[in-house]
């Protein structure tokens, strides 16, 4: 019988090599210094400049960690723009009195729009959209997650950056919990037991410290 695998064995694509970042790799806080769980270290993109007529060349280069940080921050900013676009659409709909935004208008990430082009126009998707619209507009019950977060997972992680897909049984149903990412809850909300167990497993596998909150948006970005 082969040896048991850890969570890190699931993140080994053939084209790239990964290594653990700092001991704080599991931190999912939203501070600029939080480290990604996995970090690409095989790529180097040196930048050099040479003055014309000069015999000496000045070369500047970024470390792999700096390159990874720049790329990470760029995708964080992109996910925030997508979220803002969805929030604005929902706010506008409420101001106009309808309070509802069609599902296809809540998918803002262009890579997913390209991959799923025409999918939401198919009969099964139209039936689903009609059902969701009726529930939101006429049922009188709370729907989780909120409208602007329905496609939060897709709007946060571009299609070409997907490494793993985690599907929860159903959204958290407590007030203020569900945010469109499996097992994730906003900062300030008590960490659910299911997420606490995930944190413990990761801590046992890779030895990094446990996050202080349950917001997994940064994990989705990386």
Residues labelled catalytic: 170
Secondary structure in 3-state letters for 27-49: CCCCCCCCCCCEEECCCCCCEEE
d(CA 71, CA 23): 20
d(CA 208, CA 187): 20
The answer to whether 27 touches 209, Cβ cutoff 8 Å, is yes
What residues contact 8, with CB distance under 8 A and at least 6 apart? Answer: 20, 205, 206
State the CB neighbour count (10 A cutoff) for residue 104: 15
d(CA 11, CA 161): 12
d(CA 119, CA 99): 24
d(CA 160, CA 27): 24
The answer to whether 219 touches 152, Cβ cutoff 8 Å, is no
């Amino acid at each position: 019988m082969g040896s048991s695998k850890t969570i890190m064995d699931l993140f080994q694509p053939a084209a790239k090599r990964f290594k653990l970042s700092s001991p704080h790799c599991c931190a999912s806080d939203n501070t600029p210094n939080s480290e990604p769980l996995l970090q690409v270290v095989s790529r180097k993109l040196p930048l050099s400049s040479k003055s014309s007529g000069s015999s000496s060349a000045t070369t500047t280069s970024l470390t792999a960690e700096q390159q990874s940080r720049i790329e990470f921050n760029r995708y964080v900013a992109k996910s925030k723009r997508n979220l803002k676009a969805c929030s604005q659409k929902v706010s506008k709909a409420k101001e106009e009195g309808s309070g509802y935004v069609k599902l296809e208008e809540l998918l803002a990430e262009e890579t997913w729009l390209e991959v799923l082009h025409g999918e939401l126009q198919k009969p099964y998707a139209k039936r689903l959209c009609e059902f969701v619209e009726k529930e939101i507009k006429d049922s009188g019950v709370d729907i989780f997650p909120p409208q602007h977060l329905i496609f939060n997972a897709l709007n946060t992680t571009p299609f070409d950056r997907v490494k793993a897909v985690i599907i929860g049984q159903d959204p958290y149903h407590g007030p203020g919990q569900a945010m469109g990412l499996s097992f994730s809850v906003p900062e300030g909300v008590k960490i659910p037991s299911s997420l606490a167990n995930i944190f413990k497993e990761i801590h046992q596998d890779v030895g990094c410290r446990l996050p202080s909150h349950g917001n997994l948006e940064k994990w989705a970005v990386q």
